[in-house]
């Protein structure tokens, strides 16, 4: 059986994981018809928006995403999953259970994330109007053994950043 590859594109909210993941998907889709793109915000809706935002709730959702990616890749389909899911146990599950797994961490300076604040979550958390925000009042596990780190503190050179992922898979 030929397994698909899972590209786990992870980072904090606003880091650019969806933008980079979608762009990579477009390039990979041109080469391979059996690739899909999953986004954490969309997956949350699929798995139930009623899920909370506590660390345990987020961890449970992240494990659901990981199991879904495994199920799809086991059928020979490549998956690009752009999700926060910054939990060591999820990354370990992926490495231990997904035949072809690559982890890409989209790094971005916290000051820049606060400046971007696309969804208003950081400003609300800093003011105390919102709780359970990863990186502000909830800790996260920064990946220690990811396959690639992309610094996206400056949102430029998208093609170059996606090219780094392409270079990674060329070594496979």
How does pLDDT run across 9-46, given as a tens digit for each residue?
999 999 999 999 999 999 999 998 899 999 998 998 88
Q: What is the dihedral of CA 75, 77, 80, 83, to 10 degrees?
A: -20
Any idea which residues carry the catalytic annotation? Answer: 85
CATH number of the domain bearing residue 143 = 3.40.50.300
pLDDT tier at 97, thresholds 50, 70, 90: very high
Q: What is the pLDDT of residues 141-155, one digit of tens each?
A: 999 899 999 999 999
CA 140 – CA 163 distance, rounded (Å): 27
Percent of the chain with pLDDT over 70: 99
Reference 43, options 23, 69, 21, 13; nearest CA is 69
Please tell me the predicted confidence (pLDDT) of residue 132: 87
**Contact status, residue 10 vs residue 165, Cβ threshold 8 Å:** no
Please tell me the predicted confidence (pLDDT) of residue 148: 96
Please tell me the predicted confidence (pLDDT) of residue 146: 94
Count structural domains, the chain: 1
**Contact status, residue 140 vs residue 124, Cβ threshold 8 Å:** no
Q: Give the structural domain span for 166.
A: 5-170
DSSP 83: -
Percent of the chain with pLDDT over 90: 72
Q: What is the pLDDT of residues 107-149, one digit of tens each?
A: 999 999 999 988 889 989 899 898 888 889 888 999 989 999 9
pLDDT tier at 93, thresholds 50, 70, 90: very high
């Amino acid at each position: 059986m030929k397994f698909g590859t899972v590209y786990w594109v992870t980072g904090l909210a606003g880091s650019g994981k969806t933008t980079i993941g979608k762009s990579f998907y477009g390039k990979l889709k041109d080469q391979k018809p059996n690739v899909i793109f999953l986004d954490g915000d969309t997956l949350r809706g699929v798995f139930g928006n009623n899920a909370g935002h506590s660390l345990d709730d987020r961890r449970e959702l992240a494990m659901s995403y990981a199991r879904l990616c495994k199920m799809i890749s086991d059928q020979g389909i490549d998956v690009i999953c752009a999700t926060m899911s910054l939990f060591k146990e999820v990354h370990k599950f992926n490495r231990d259970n997904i035949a072809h797994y690559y982890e890409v961490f989209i790094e971005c300076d916290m000051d820049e994330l606060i400046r971007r604040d696309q969804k208003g979550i950081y400003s609300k958390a800093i003011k105390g109007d919102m709780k359970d925000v990863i990186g502000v009042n909830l800790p996260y596990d920064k990946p220690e053994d990811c396959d690639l780190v992309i610094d996206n503190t400056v949102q430029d050179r998208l093609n170059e950043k996606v090219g780094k992922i392409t270079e990674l898979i060329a070594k496979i």
